[in-house]
Structure 1
Amino acid sequence: MHYETIAESNESTVVAEFHSNNEKKSAYESEAELERAFIALLEKQGYEFKKIHNEKGLKDNLKEQLEKLNDHHFTPKEWDTLYSQFIANKNDDYKAKTKKIQEDPIFNLALENGKTKNIKIIDKKNIHRNALQVIHQYSNKGGKYQNRYDVSVLVNGLPLVHVELKKRGVAIREAFNQIKRYKRDSFSAEDGLFEFVQIFVISNGTSSKYYSNTTRIAQLEKNHKADTFEFTNYWADSKNNNIEDLMDFAKSFFAKCSLLNVLTRYCVFTSEEVLLVMRPYQIVAVERILEKIKATHDSKTYKKSQSGGYIWHTTGSGKTLTSFKSATLAKELEGVSKVLFVVDRKDLDYQTMKEYDKFQKDCANSNTSTKILKQQLEDFNAKIIITTIQKLDKFVKSHLKGHAIFNEEVVMIFDECHRSQLGS
């Protein structure tokens, strides 16, 4: 089958600049027409369309996809163990399933031959090994009401993205309200496989938005507003131009590389059990930081202005999340020994540590003295360190004759940096 490349951006998650070539559709385009056009576009981009309308079909396909991903044919007993204990464990709610996708997607399965095998439900390191399929009009039985869902994207057989459509001219909020009813009445029905959905997409053809599976609940607990619509996000290009038309949204957000990157790299399941899906401008910032680090590593242009850079941000733009994700991904890069997050006041030191702890408990190391900072810099396991510029300055000045860390590749992220610090 020939797949057509529709939007390409050199593996960047967010396309550099998007130009729509769609003709403006009639305001009377029906929901069924939208659905057909959307699915056809996903197929062009390499998604496999599957006629799956019930749980038996979903479960059979899930087994087949996981066998391909893990290069292992399950015996009936092995499959029953994996399915009942890990995938469809009756004690798991949607938060537990979210944690499995985001943090713990591997199950140590005892095989019938006496060996054990690590079984993945998603491959985060080699994202192109994950199979993307699209289904529509799935009927979930056994809930409070029988519901028929519009479009769902399966990743290795699990529904991880759900799309609810309304015809052009109908308020997008109607799609949002529909998903709210599904979450309440039927996603947990039968074996609860739709509780694996990480991201919801809503569209009326003209306007399209996305949001995470936990955010509405978090907003409800915070503001006591069940119907608040504020947290839904627009997708955009790297110049922050919103991409709203459903067909344009499909070409960009649903580009295979983009969607898999969002699911595997640019979500954070916090210690408060809230799933944060990063916004396009945050993803662009992180990827440009990582590109700069890689380029500096390859060219060995240390201590020069071109080895650094700065990211503009505004209040409320989520810069702490951007810095956190930059730090956690940077520490995995080849050659990187440490990531230092440097703040200019003691209270910010503590505040940042609290924020990082919310994103991921005990992911970073803070310090109350230069002595502790020195110990952390000498500790191989202390990969992310939060410190103040005063402690860092004191450490450097007390080791003018040299220190082993000076020969390592260390990434420094400065909070509230200024252009005058570039290359300093």
Structure 2
Amino acid sequence: MVQTESKLENQLIAQLGKSGWQFRPELNHYSLIVNHFRVLLNRRNIDKLDGTPLTDQEFQRFLNEIVGSKSIYQLGRYLRGDDQFQGGRAQIQRDDGSDITLSFFDPRDAGNNIYEVAHQVVVNDKYENRYDVTLLINGLPLVQIELKRHSVEMSQAFQQILRYRRESFNVGGSLFRYLQIFVISNGMSSRYFSNNDGELNKNFIFNWSDENNRWIDEIEPFTASFLSPLNIHEMISKYTIFDADQKVMKIMRPYQVYAQKSIMSQAEIHPDINGYVWHTTGSGKTITAFKAASQLALHTDAQKIIFLVDRRDLDSQTINNFNAYLPKRADGQSSIDRTDNTFVLVEQLKNSTDTLIVTTIQKLANAVKNERYRSVLEPYKEQRVIFIEDEAHRTQFGEMRKQVNSWFKNAQHFGFTGTPIFKENIGADGRTTDDIYDTRLHTYLIRDAVRDHNVLPFNVTYINTIHSKEDIENLNGEVEALNIKEVYENEKRLNQIAQHIILNHSSKTYNRQYNAIFAVSDTRTALKYYDIFKEINNDLKVTTIFTWTANEDDNDEHQKDDTLTSRHGLEKVIDDYNDKYHQNFSTDTFSDFFNDVSKRMKNHDAKSPENNIDVLIVVNMFLTGFDAPTLNTLYVDKNLQYHGLIQAFSRTNRVQKAPKDYGNIVAYRNIKSKTDEAVQLFSQGDKAAFFAPNYDDLKLDFQKAIRALRDKVATPEDTNRLLDEGETAELEFIKLFRDVMSLQSRISVYEEFDWAEIETELDWTQQIFDDFKGKYATFYERHKARQKEKASIIDDVDFYPELLMVDAIDVDYINRLISQIDLSSPNARTEGVEKVKRALTNNTEPTLFSKRELLEQFLDSVIPELNHDADITGELNHFLADKRQAEIYHFAEEHRLEPSQLAEQVAEYEVSQHENSKALSELTAGMTFKEKRTAKQSIKNFIIETAKKFVMN
């Protein structure tokens, strides 16, 4: 028997009751929620109120204080408390003029709160909405649960949350603005995510799991574990992170929660035993470490919590990210010292109010070695100090760690690493991560992260660049006479690799929506590749970066001319960089150059290609600790192994919006055996999740998806009948083509992908795909229009507008095509017009839909009449201005309006993107009330559509 949504709601409410929530069925309307909150507020603060409940005016002042015009981000901080807010308390003035501070939430003591459940709460605003299950703490709605029956996609519940946020959750002054956590479930699968201002990101919807990373998915165990009153209180009060830079709340993933719990337990129960957390690279371990450091500073008796990082990781953007998560020091300054001056660190150690310090291992080692700081550091020999050590596989091996340990004798160390040191990959230090840290506290492997979609799998391609009778790449040192380095650095080979990158970069990066790192063996090779890319005719933006002092000996071995040292070579690169990006760097300001390169790599924007770096050539820099979601490809021409290989690969697999499905690795050396060894070691023998599916399996899925689509609609033209068959038929087409589009996006980055083969084997061409995509875009537009009119079943469809835009033909592109029409001959003119029309037909950019008919009129009626030396752009502007004026005049005449006033409103909207309510009232001044109400909406729609339709920029 099929379980209905109402049965699922009843099952959930019963389970919540067993977990400690009290069901309040009478709270089924928003007004009742507000009244109930008022009753509990009075009861909670009865002593402070001296038995006199809040008057209506006082309660309204209280609501204005705790909600008012605050953002969701601010409300979240208000609820928990920080340096700005008291934490669940607010001060108001009573009617008699006295001040009173009232408590409405206790973030510190879970037992000092009341936990209740409301069901089917009705909210009446522009639309009537009815929420499934709401969890109240002290009468305040903090968790909203939306349910769907078993057979329904989870995305429908997510889309419903989005609709409620648009229509009622976020209405000014509503207590529902306090919602902190959303839960969606269809009974078989359950997810949670945090509320925020702006659009919610689908990539931050999480599964809940147990300590061993096993999903807790079905509604009953999920309710018992995640939705217990204590866990919800802790998720809100302890396991939410505030990003002060982005102004967003981030709720922690389950493995982050368990790691933090294990650290706190170790610090409290075993203060003399160290521990480390192995969370795979890219899973957010640095944020976990920050949160753990903050909690240790609050809840232990340690004199100092010292967060240690490697100096190489502190580019300016990383420092900004650190500061966004960490609390300010007592003097209001940043917790992070940006300078290389050890004295600043020592001053922080002297200051007793600065419990939490962020510094580098290099600076701390300098401090303990320097005799002038002995008097300051002496007390710390015996005091309790806790170290949080990020990227522990790098910072905690070698002399610096030994120097620090020799001073801080009673310190406890907690390390975080994505690639621990084992016996197999042990270095000169001779110790493993287990040797240094005593015990592993929590593990989250790449297989777990890929399954949870917290990182992406890798698509690895090996390109053979050396063809020889001998297996040169596996000879190692066996044949001394053979100069393998000379073979690798052969100019012809380097040129072939550069050509391969140029030819394939666009397909690997989805038309350069993403960027790439090119890892090479040494600085000399980096400079050679840089020069080759300059010599080959291409439009890739390529640069290189490296430190020269560490590599100078290597360079001098092969190049006796000291004018060609790596530093001199880098100076020439930086000169080119300055010309390209209008900067003024040199090797003397290398840190500024490094920060600018880092910023461009992290802020890659396909819409501003002039500011991007497409390919960054590196030796060692940027291969560890560098996070850039828009980086999706690593080209490799160097030997990598073990943790170095995994770290380098992991630069590419950060989750980002579609169409990024994998981290692409293109290896120009035979490192397959080293890859297999590293994967075996760091996946604990479970390699299945590490790699993307092979090409043949993916092609089979692609074939099935195409067949399913064409069983429903054989041709793009066949979709026209769906317009008469209703929304259910439209929904089916949307889902089928969405699958095809997703699979085509994923398969197109494979080296084996060939359109000619796809055409032959699957009867599927680029043109057919583009035609279907145009139809899909039409339904996407219909969906958006429907949203304005009424709630529809397509409201619950998970569209892929990002995939739709992969090959988007936008307004700028059409403008360029039109301006480039060759007027010198009738044939050239006709060819140019047809090129623009084809682009308009294949268009999937929504902003162009309304312009298509206009542009086709211009192409058909104006272009044929122009002189060969005419200014096409100017003619197009005149044509659009005339058409715009005619439409305004026609609409004004039809609605009895003054054309000049209407034209002013359209022009004002084009600039401000906001309609002028006062001016709208003036336009309709002579109408009756009923006429005004209808006319205002029509005029408003006309102004918006006209402004969009006639602006070509």
TM-score normalised to structure 2 length: 0.38
Match of 1:248 in 2: 221
Secondary structure at the aligned position of 1:311 is classed as strand
Which of the numbers 53, 63, 79 marks the counterpart of 1:101? Answer: 79
Measure, in 1, the Cα distance between the counterparts of 2:185 and 2:369: 57
1:42 aligns with 2:21: no
Query: Distance between the aligned counterparts of 1:68 and 1:360, measured in 2?
Result: 36
Q: C-alpha displacement at 1:110, in angstroms? A: 3.3
* Map of 2:398 onto structure 1: none
Q: In 2, are the aligned partners of 1:209 and 1:233 still within 8 Å (CA)?
A: yes
Asked if structure 1 preserves the Cα contact closer than 8 Å seen for 2:123 and 2:168, the reply is yes
From 377, 384, 387, the counterpart of 2:356: 384
Cα RMSD (Å): 2.2
Question: Amino acid of the residue matched to residue 92 of structure 1?
Answer: K
Determine if the alignment matches structure 1 residue 344 to structure 2 residue 310. Answer: yes
User: What CA deviation, in whole Å up to 9, does each residue of 1:96-148 have, x standing for no partner?
Assistant: 33332244332123346765433222111112111111001100012x31111
Q: Could you tell me which of 332, 338, 351 is aligned with 2:298? A: 332
In the TM superposition, 1:252-263 aligns within 5 A as: 252-263=225-236
Which amino acid in 2 is paired with 1:87? I
Q: Give 1:359's match in structure 2, choosing from 299, 315, 325.
A: 325
For 2:323, what is the secondary structure of its paired residue? helix
Shift of 1:239: 0.4
Match of residue 38 from structure 2: 63
CA contact (8 A) 1:53 1:139 kept: yes
In structure 2, do the counterparts of structure 1 residues 39 and 332 end up closer, same or farther at CA, with 3 Å as the change threshold?
Answer: same
1:285 — aligned with what?
Answer: 259
- Indicate if the aligned counterparts of 1:215 and 1:276 stay in contact, CA closer than 8 A: no
More helix by percentage = 2
- Report which of the two structures shows the higher radius of gyration computed on alpha carbons: 2
User: What is the CA-CA distance between 1:365 and the residue it aligns to?
Assistant: 2.1
Find the aligned partners of 2:280 and 2:197 in 1 and give their Cα distance: 22
Structure-1 residue corresponding to 2:65? 86
Cα deviation digits, residues 216-258 of structure 1 (max 9, x gap)? 7264xxxxxxxxx332100000000011101111010011111
- Please state how far the C-alpha of 1:204 moved relative to its aligned partner: 0.5
- CA positional deviation for 1:313: 1.3
| Contact preservation (8 Å) 2:211, 2:258 | yes
The alignment status of 1:121 with 2:104, answered yes or no, reads: yes
Bigger mean CA deviation after superposition, 321-330 or 344-353:
344-353
Q: Distance in 1 between matches of 2:186 and 2:227?
A: 16
**Structure showing the higher strand proportion among its residues:** 1
Moved more, 165-174 or 185-194: 185-194
Higher relative contact order (CA 8 A, sep 6+): 1
Mark the CA change 1:31 to 1:385 in structure 2 (over 3 Å): closer, same or farther. Answer: same
Question: Contact 1:141/1:190 (CA < 8 Å) preserved in 2?
Answer: no
Please say if 1:412 is aligned against 2:387. Answer: yes
Amino acid at match of 1:344: D
Counterpart-to-counterpart distance in 2, 1:394 and 1:93: 44
2:357 and 2:67 mapped to 1: Cα distance?
38
Distance 1:120 1:167 in 2: 39
1:33 aligns with 2:48: no
Q: 2:122 aligns with which of 139, 142, 165?
A: 139
Q: Secondary structure in 1 aligned to 2:275? A: coil
> How many Å separate the matches in 1 of 2:71 and 2:388?
37
State the number of aligned residues: 377
Cα distance, 1:381 vs structure 2:
2.1
Q: 1:165, 1:204 within 8 Å by CA — same for their partners in 2?
A: yes
Contact kept, 8 Å, 1:69 with 1:129, in 2: the verdict is: no
- Gapped regions of structure 2 (runs ≥ 5): 394-432, 439-953
> In the alignment, residue 357 of structure 2 is paired with which amino acid?
I
Q: Counterpart of 1:118 in 2: which secondary structure?
A: strand
Code of the residue aligned with 2:116 in structure 1: it is Q
Partners of 1:383 and 1:149 in 2: CA distance? 44
Amino acid in structure 2 at the alignment position of 1:389: I
Taking the TM superposition and a 5 Å limit, the aligned residue runs for 1:200-279 are 200-214=182-196, 217=199, 219=201, 229-271=202-244, 272-279=246-253
Q: 1:338·1:385 contact (CA, 8 Å) conserved in 2?
A: yes
Give identity over the alignment, percent.
33
Partners of 1:121 and 1:405 lie apart in 2 by 41
- Assess, with a 3 A threshold, how the Cα gap between structure 1 residues 290 and 215 changes in structure 2: closer, same or farther: farther
2:725 maps to which residue?
none
Once the two structures are superposed, the pairs formed by residues 297-316 of structure 1 within 5 Å of their partners are 297=271, 301=272, 307-316=273-282
2:190 and 2:207 in contact (8 A); partners too: yes
The 3 A distance-change label for structure 1 pair 93 and 346 is closer
Is the 1:349–1:386 Cα contact (8 Å) retained in structure 2?
no
Q: Which amino acid aligns with 2:118?
A: I
Q: CA deviation at 1:260?
A: 0.6
Residue 151 of structure 1 deviates from its aligned partner by 0.4
Q: Secondary structure at the match of 1:325?
A: helix
**2:849 corresponds to:** none
Question: What is the CA distance between 1:190 and its match in structure 2?
Answer: 7.4
Tell me which amino acid in the other structure corresponds to 1:52: L
Letter in 2 for 1:86: E
Corresponding residue SS for 2:203: coil
Secondary structure at the aligned position of 2:192 is classed as: strand
* Cross-structure match for 2:138: 156
CA contact (8 A) 1:349 1:366 kept: no
SS in 2 for 1:43: helix
> Of residues 28, 49, 52 in structure 1, which corresponds to 2:27?
52
Secondary structure in 2 aligned to 1:170?
Answer: coil
Cα distance, 1:346 vs structure 2: 4.3
Separation (CA, whole Å) in 1 of partners of 2:327 and 2:305: 17
The answer on 1:395 being equivalent to 2:374 is no
Q: Deviations over 1:62-97 (max 9, x none)?
A: 0122234334443314323212x22342x2343433
Asked if the contact 2:73–2:197 (Cα under 8 Å) also holds between the matched residues in 1, the reply is no
How far the C-alpha of 1:341 sits from its partner, in A, is 0.7
| Contact 2:335–2:357 (8 Å) recurs in 1 | yes
Aligned residue type for 1:80: Q
Query: Within 2, Cα distance between the matches of 1:421 and 1:248?
Result: 38
The residue identity in structure 2 corresponding to 1:279 is R
Aligned to 2:289: 323
Amino acid paired to 2:165: K
Q: Which residue of 1 aligns with 2:687?
A: none
**Alpha carbons 1:214, 1:274 under 8 Å: kept:** yes
Question: Does 2:170 correspond to 1:185?
Answer: no
- Tell me the SS of whatever aligns to 2:136: strand
Q: Contact between 1:102 and 1:268, CA under 8 Å: does it hold in 2? A: no
- Structure 1 pair 362–99 and aligned structure 2 pair: CA distance change class (3 A): same
Distance in 1, Cα, partners of 2:46 & 2:315: 46
Paired amino acid for 2:205: T
Residue type of the partner of 2:314?
L
